[in-house]
Amino acid sequence: MPALDAIKAFFNSGAEKNIRIVWLIRMPRILAAIVVGFGLAISGHIMQVNLQNPLASPTSLGVSSAATFGANLAIIMGAGSFAGTAGNVLNMSNPYVITVVAFIFAFGSVLAILGISKIQNFSPTTVILLGVAATSLFTALTTLVQYLANDQALSVAVYWTFGDLGRASYLKLLIMSVVVFASFIVFFILRWRYNALGSGDEIAKTLGIHVNVLRIVSLLLASLITAVCVSFVGVIGFVGIICPQLLKRFMGSDSRFLLPASGLLGSILLLVSDDIARIIVPGMNLPVAAVTAIIGTPFFVYILLRRKKA
């Protein structure tokens, strides 16, 4: 579409086809990149502060692996199929069923981990280790379910795991936006507490902060953001690690500035990654999760090497 026609379509002018492309296909995808990128980035910052681990991410509590298992289970139980006269058109016959089941497993995993962690006085190390255990468990269950599936259901299940912003509709955007920005407001209100927590639990307690309560609320909301986003658009990794860590090297660790800046950078990163995914191979939309992983992996290694050097 020529740029001038795209501008006209944005203002509901010009050819009807162009207007539909801009407002029903492109705009939901762009807005999804902004909302999901913002949500994953602020979740990553909150996870890193509360777990006192610079390599923590929105998936540290097994959210993504649990959502993947839930979606695979729903698809293989009948929510995914092939349609079309040639039998080769991929179709998710009940996308909202898949989303709901994925969310239930994702958030249920988080609640279970936080509940067990409470028994051990909510140690950050315990939370991380339980997250690793949950990830391993749900990965194994996903593999088992896929092994028992037929070829058609397996194809749909594998397709779901690719992060795809094109699945977003305006209703999904509304739900994600409410969860992400409501949680962001809570995080921003608590920003000075996160600064105190960064100095250590004991110092935070001397300032009158209920550390365990703060961690439970923060991790619960961060996981809720991740669960909602993953359930709607699939697994998109590395955004939650890259953005807070990159900005921390330039802005410091003050949550007053790092929290909103991380969200903004997350939106930009996911927008750029989605553009790269759509243009790198002409005529083909690559999974945006693959692009973020390619960008994120070298940076992840860089963080590890810098920490070892320090």
CATH code where residue 102 lies: 1.10.3470.10
Q: Give φ, ψ of 82 to 5 degrees.
A: -105, 140
d(CA 71, CA 83): 19
What is the domain count for the chain? Answer: 1
Averaged confidence pLDDT in the chain: 87
Q: How deeply is 309 buried, as exposed, middle or buried, from its count of CB atoms within 10 A (0-12, 13-18, 19+)? A: exposed
Percent of the chain topping pLDDT 90:
53
d(CA 60, CA 134): 9
d(CA 192, CA 269): 27
Distance between start and end Cα atoms, the chain: 51
pLDDT reading at 256 higher than 90: yes
Q: Map residue 89 onto helix, strand or coil.
A: strand
Q: How many CA atoms within 13 Å lie on the side-chain side of 31?
A: 19
Q: How far is CA 146 from its chain centroid?
A: 23
pLDDT at 86: 38
pLDDT at 95: 64
Residue 80: band (very low, low, confident or very high) from pLDDT cuts 50, 70, 90: low
pLDDT reading at 79 higher than 70: no
pLDDT reading at 159 higher than 80: yes
d(CA 56, CA 42): 12
Prediction pTM value: 0.89
| Tokens 């365990």, residue located | 212
Q: Which domain covers residue 121, as residue numbers?
A: 3-309
